[in-house]
Amino acid sequence: MVKIKCVDYGFECDYVIEVESQDLLEKFGAHMTQIHGIEYQKESLMTMLVSKLNKK
Ligand SMILES: [Zn+2]
């Protein structure tokens, strides 16, 4: 499980999501689109997730 925080990506936003599955990754993507007006491709989200995983 990986915690993704908007703050980590430079947003002034306290949104945090614990990503356990692809569904939740898509939910984060939806948050980005709706709240921040940025559309991330699924591949970009996966890259974020993978780089998070590699940090551990
Ligand atoms: Zn946010």
CA of 22 to the centre of ligand 1 (A): 18
CA of 56 to the centre of ligand 1 (A): 23
What pTM, to 2 d.p., does this model score? 0.81
pLDDT at residue 33 is higher than 70:
yes
pLDDT at residue 47 is higher than 70:
yes
CA of 15 to the centre of ligand 1 (A): 5
> Token digits for 5?
């925080």
What's the pLDDT at 56?
60
Give 9-54 as a 3 state SS string.
HCCCCCCEEEECCHHHHHHHHHHHHHHHCCCCCHHHHHHHHHHHHH
46 vs 15: which has the higher pLDDT: 15
Average pLDDT rounded to a whole number, residues 29-35: 96
CA of 2 to the centre of ligand 1 (A): 16
